[in-house]
Structures are given as structure tokens and as C-alpha cells.
Amino acid sequence: MQIRILSPNEAHARQRAGAVLVDVRAAHERALGMAVDASGIVREALQADPTAHLPDPGMEILLICQRGARSLQVAEILAARGYRNLSSVEGGTDAWDAAGLPMQRADVDADFSERYSRHLRLPDVGLQGQQALEAARVLLVGAGGLGSPAAYYLAAAGIGTLRIADDDVVDRSNLQRQILHTDARIGMPKVESATLALSALNPRTRIEAVRERITSDNVERLLDGIDVVVDGADNFPARYLLNDACVKLGKPLVYGAVHRFEGQASVFDAGRHRGSAPCYRCLFPEPPPPESAPNCAEAGVLGVLPGVIGLLQATEAIKLLLGIGDPLRGRLLQFDALAMRFRETRLLPDPQCPVCAPGCAFPGYVDYAAFCAGGEA
């Protein structure tokens, strides 16, 4: 039989006369908006067992999708199964909405729907995932080279609360890589500069600016209520303190580091996966002496390099919050910018690790400032 193609207005009139309107899109697509009183039946389920959803082959059925292609395909399959009164809505939900016909949307505001529409269309994110991001709390230590791209993309992605800890001020030498800041904000505390930039990008994200350097006295306060920690600091005292606190408190730590033309990233999640996932100390049991660990001011760094690593960190943080994909847990991803090459190294937990080994008592915090070179990317 020939499938009728109806305009949205014609379909709406038929729906009001008693025809059944069926939206065959996936649930995450329907969350963006669907015709009022339409029945949501995902295409795959309808095609697999149409009589379970539409028991009368003689009933008048109007099929609608996003733009009209999928609904027409489903109509052809149903026709082959014996359904005799089928129509597809031309232009789909886009045309229905454009025609000003009644729509029903998820219980979210218009800004949320428009701002995150590309996420809402992803099956692995959708409405539930985006709402999870908006409820999430992330700690970012360092508003410098690594923290800048990580912060931008975390805020853009819709992280609800972004706590940023940094005690430094903006310097002209930062601007080559620390893209959160501008020439006009030289001398301003970095957390204040970051707040201005990120609030302008996404006012829905709440920025908690903490102008402090992380120490053993404040590390647990900074981690209080946090879901994921992003290490954007380029100094060993901060890294060891963050690692130890994350193991103790069961928080995932997204690690990143840069040096000249090379960078690396990983996820240390031993606090939640003792014995199966390593911590930072499993990779680096003790901090190196200062002469072996020059900071960016001493050794230099290619300006775009922290951008690459910071974006990887933001990606890992979002994956962890959504519970999707394969995080860099137990893997060290190394990047060589000059060769444009990534290399992955498998990391195993150290069964003798003094911090994360199963059954070992927490040894307490140690401040390594006296032994490590300071600095921030």
C-alpha cells in the first residue's frame, strides 16, 4: 500500500479526529520536545513487535520522527506487516514545532533545553545525564595552563558547581597558555579572573572561587561535597596531597601534567577501587628533588600543550560523572606534541603502596613543600 504523507497541520487535524500519533524517536530525542498527546514508542521496539504496541492493524496511525525519514521507514515496515491506515508526518517534529502546533517538553526550562541540546541528543547523555552534570560538583585545583581549558569545557558542559582553588594572580607571562585570563586582568587573583570568564560563558554554572594554595590543613575542606577532582596544578606538593586525600575520601582524581613539549594524563581512582586501580603514589612513590622537577617558569612549555592535556582531563571528568566510556583508570596517556603521537602505558596498583594498598591504614598527610619545586602551569 502507498503511505500517505501529511503536513503537520493535516496530521494534527487527523489526530484530533481520533487517529493515533506515534513518535518513533528515542527517549533522549523526545525529551527535547514532542507533539502533545503523541505516544512515544521507539522505532526498534515498534518494528520488533508492532502488535504489542498497536494491536489493531486497521486503526489510523500517524507516525512522526525528527524530520520525517524514520517515520516513513517505519510506516513501510508496518505496511508490510498488514497495517492498512498509515501516514507519515512530513518534516517531522521540527516542522510540527515550526507550524506552532502544541508541543510537550520535559520539565526543564528553555535555556537548559537550548544550551544543552547537543548533549540531550546523545543517547549516552540525554536528559538524565545532563541533569546529573548540573547536579555535579567538581574541584579544580589550579586556574592556570591545565585548569583553563578544563574549566572552560566543564562549565560549557553544564557542571553545576565548579570549585576552583588557586592562590596566584594573573601575570603577563601566563597569557601564552592560560586562556581563562586576559591582558586587562593582569594582577587580578586568578580565581576572580576565572569566575568572570566562566560566568560569562555559562551563568548556570556556579563558581566557588577559593583563593588558597592547597595544604594538609585545607585539603579535606576543599574536597568536601566534591564528586570529581581535577588536578590542574603543576607542583608536587599539590599532587601528593590531592592523591592522598582522594584515596582516603574515595574521590576520583583526574591527573594531568605538562613539560616542554610533552604531557600526560590519567585517572587515579584507588579510593573507590582499592587493589584494582592505582593511585598517583603507585606511579611516583616519592616526589623528586627540586633540581629534577623544574616548573614551567624554569623549563618552559609549548603554549598549546596544556590545552591538549586540559581538554583530556575535562573529557575524563565528564565521563566519570556520567558513568560512560572507558576512563583512563589504570592507564597513563602520554602525548608528544613534536611527534604528534600518543602512547599509552598500563599502570598497575602497587600492593605495597603506603596509601592505597588494601587494608593499609591511612598514614596521614605530609606537606612536601620543603622538598619540591613549586610552580603552576
Helix (H, G, I), strand (E, B) or coil at 266: strand
Mean per-residue pLDDT pooled into runs of 10, the chain (377 residues): 92 96 92 92 95 95 96 95 96 96 87 91 92 98 98 98 97 96 98 98 98 95 98 91 97 97 97 96 83 64 97 98 97 98 97 93 79 48
pTM: 0.85
Q: What is the model's pLDDT at position 297?
A: 60
> What Rg value do the Cα atoms of the chain yield, rounded?
26
Q: What is the model's pLDDT at position 369?
A: 62
The CATH code for residues 136-346 is 3.40.50.720
CA angle at residue 277 from 273 to 283, to 5 degrees? 140
**Where do you find CATH 3.40.50.720 in the chain?**
136-346
Domain 4-105, what fold?
Answer: Oxidized Rhodanese; domain 1 (3.40.250)
How buried is 282 (Cβ within 10 angstroms: 0-12 exposed, 13-18 middle, 19+ buried)? buried
**Where do you find CATH 3.40.250.10 in the chain?**
4-105
Q: What is the model's pLDDT at position 373?
A: 44
**Would you give the distance in Å from CA 354 to the centre of its chain?**
32
Q: What is the model's pLDDT at position 375?
A: 44
Contact 234, 258 (CB under 8 A): yes
